[in-house]
Structure 1
Amino acid sequence: MTVAVTAPLPVLRERLVSVPNTVTVLRTVLALALGIGAVAVDSLALLGVAYVCYWAGDSLDGYLARKLDQETKVGAVFDCVCDRASTCILAVGLIAHAPEVWPPVAVFLANFMVLDMMLSLSFLCWPHVVSPNYFYLIDERVFRLNWSHPAKAANTAGVVLMVVLGLTWPVFLWVALVAALAIFGVKIWSTVRVARLLALG
């Protein structure tokens, strides 16, 4: 279902060098360096700092892109790729520190690295959509389930935080697994819906 425009679209001026893209580079390099260091010395605390750098930086680059009117398709793709690079290293760090957490982390990674990546890049099929943050212009339900603030928090932080709690209270590992499977189901449904929208032209 196509949704009427409810907010002005940003003026699209493609550029690779910009303030938000610079922040994306810095937060990714920092998260990767800290994440690799955490794996090398088996430090959960350092891994936690790496996650904070990734999540805070991911929020900051998006905020600056909107605030400075520097939203671009290339920036959205770059952000998406850097999110996966950071997430992959940090997830490996979690499994290296506590191998018993692998089931929910494996489901989370399969979802985030494949299905969510494909969904996040599907905006490129619609020329007037600058990033996944504007997917409500195409389909509001898909947007709410995938790129609204609650959906983003659940998709990137929710499972990870439950896994960390599971290091102390093992029951949370089961909660994390159920949550990861539920999110996986949402992504499958969203992928099918987007495929139908594309088929309709």
Structure 2
Amino acid sequence: MDLTLWQYQFRIIMLGDSTVGKSSMLKRYTEDLFLESINQTVGVDFFVHFLEVEPGVRVKLQFWDTAGQERFRSVTRSYYRNSVGGLLVFDLGNRKSFENVQQWYEEVFERVQPYTVLYVLVGHKSDRVKAGERAVNRTEAEKLATQLGAPYIEASAKTGHNVKEAFELLTRRIYQGLKSGEIQLRDGWDGVKSSAPTAQALQRKQKSEAAEKNKSCAC
């Protein structure tokens, strides 16, 4: 019986202005809960979820939910480098949150080199669209997504619409990047981890064992 709980671990960061609904999306996805009132994130919150991306391949998803307020940026920026994926979230009823997406993207880009981060752009609170509160049209959102090299999806934590799809779209995108070589496992980087040791780790272990053997043989 295979007792491995997961084959890969992906670290994903939630990005976007305060009150766009990042925490609500995570609550809906990881616990299938929606709260009308939720406390704003202070610094960074942490969530975990598991997903089978293909038969026999289980991924542990580590989500870092960052605060959108400027006063917490010095804390949240320290989490960018060790992320492999990001959900760029804006509120469909809040034009300013859409205009700030580019800033969030650039802020991460400046800090993750030489590593690769893949994104999905999420127009959140799609339930507001039905109420006639849309401030960002789909065409311009899709244009921005294309510029960022990311797919675009509209979702609502309130109704549950497309929340699961948004997270799984990003997860499968990362997994395909891993399979294609676009993303690679690296020592010292926590964006992606494997339950099997990396080649570098095996080499270090072999060198250490050889050194110990030589030491014990010395007379």
Q: TM-score surpassing 0.5?
A: no
Higher strand proportion: 2
Question: TM-score, normalising length from structure 1?
Answer: 0.29
Larger Rg: 2
Normalised by the length of structure 2, the TM-score is 0.27
